[in-house]
Structure 1
């Protein structure tokens, strides 16, 4: 029986062998430099959507946070469990835009991270995704997102998304922007190709 590909994950399973060490080579501190000051200082509950191999989740767990790592690509999830074993990380096979499994728990988080994922969603999927993300945020929670700009591999499903459109979408669901930053890629090959990132942070401004 042929496995169903989650929309937005196209190409990742096929490229997992070389992507896993590439993901592992980028530290949380370097990647999140523009927004790291927004990560809760006290031990908190954090949702890492599109956790990849768990580099970010592992760093957060080492700081004392309890992390739920959502990753739909089996190869990445298996690598993360092996490379970053931690009692503070729970791995879940779930995905945007539905987030069906995590939504069923009716749990709220102090912070939600969505790094390098948003660009894989079509416009209608992004609206559905945002509607499912907001209920996961506590009243004082922070939502941190990164959006990729630039050429992508041919076997990936990628949409060019503007930061402004994402901000307007977030506002329509009761989120208030607290930060926007534009940074170059920290991966050498992407940097040479002119890839840049928009970093956005939001908080809930009213109950949805």
Structure 2
């Protein structure tokens, strides 16, 4: 069963079954290759940073290596068992969108939030709640970087969900965010069937 307010457990099961294979692929490419437009939006000084849906931990480790204090959120136990490498600047948390209840209860705030390849696992009815949660966790003036894609042929419809760009932007703006950058980066692993869209939002001052 899923927890109250959590994403459908089917998505976690799906990634539990693929975690070992996917981790090898994800870790074969760099943070910069996957997120070419994010660097200008990162804090210039060491800050609290949140990686939601950290997967193999590639991005969380890269952010920690930059000097940031990183919390990596990952609901897949199989991914965490492969990826977890905790240190002074990196902590792993088992939590789930749309509400991230454990993290919200800690009342910690972050200067930058990364949510990569996650929102396509959230049904449209929960999209706005995700951004409301991000707004709760982000410090005023902080940046939120989001990437997502449409479901690929053959992917299970109960796991992957299509969100139009306008719906993503509307959900973010309803939660108080302002769109500052939008792009369509290529898939860093060269998968021609995947079409990525990335957004950077800024919270209100």
Q: TM-score, normalised by structure 1?
A: 0.89
CA distance in 2 between partners of 1:170 and 1:19 (Å): 29
CA distance in 2 between partners of 1:153 and 1:9 (Å): 18
Give yes or no for contact 1:108–1:138 (8 Å, CA) kept in 2.
Answer: yes
* Secondary structure at the counterpart of residue 145 of structure 1: strand
Residue in structure 1 matched with residue 79 of structure 2 by the alignment:
76
CA distance in 2 between partners of 1:61 and 1:29 (Å): 14
Give yes or no for contact 1:11–1:155 (8 Å, CA) kept in 2.
Answer: no
1:105-124 to 2 correspondence within 5 Å?
A: 105-124=106-125
In the alignment, structure 1 residue 205 sits paired with structure 2 residue 172 = no
Q: 1:58 to 1:28 in 2, by over 3 A?
A: same
Count of matched residue pairs: 200
CA distance in 1 between partners of 2:68 and 2:9 (Å): 28
Flag structure 1 segments of 5+ consecutive residues without an equivalent.
none
1:1-208 to 2 correspondence within 5 Å?
A: 6=9, 8-81=11-84, 84-151=85-152, 153-155=154-156, 157-188=159-190, 190-191=191-192, 193=193, 195-205=194-204
Give yes or no for contact 1:48–1:112 (8 Å, CA) kept in 2.
Answer: yes
Q: Judge which range, 84-93 or 164-173, deviates more.
A: 84-93
Q: Shift in Å at residue 80 of structure 1?
A: 1.3
CA distance in 2 between partners of 1:36 and 1:116 (Å): 18
Q: Shift in Å at residue 58 of structure 1?
A: 0.4
CA distance in 2 between partners of 1:71 and 1:146 (Å): 16
* Secondary structure at the counterpart of residue 14 of structure 2: coil
Q: Judge which range, 67-76 or 28-37, deviates more.
A: 28-37
* Secondary structure at the counterpart of residue 9 of structure 1: helix
* Secondary structure at the counterpart of residue 12 of structure 1: helix
Q: TM-score, normalised by structure 2?
A: 0.90
* Secondary structure at the counterpart of residue 111 of structure 1: strand
Q: 1:134 to 1:90 in 2, by over 3 A?
A: same
* Secondary structure at the counterpart of residue 180 of structure 1: strand
Please provide the CA RMSD for this pair.
Answer: 1.9
Flag structure 2 segments of 5+ consecutive residues without an equivalent.
none
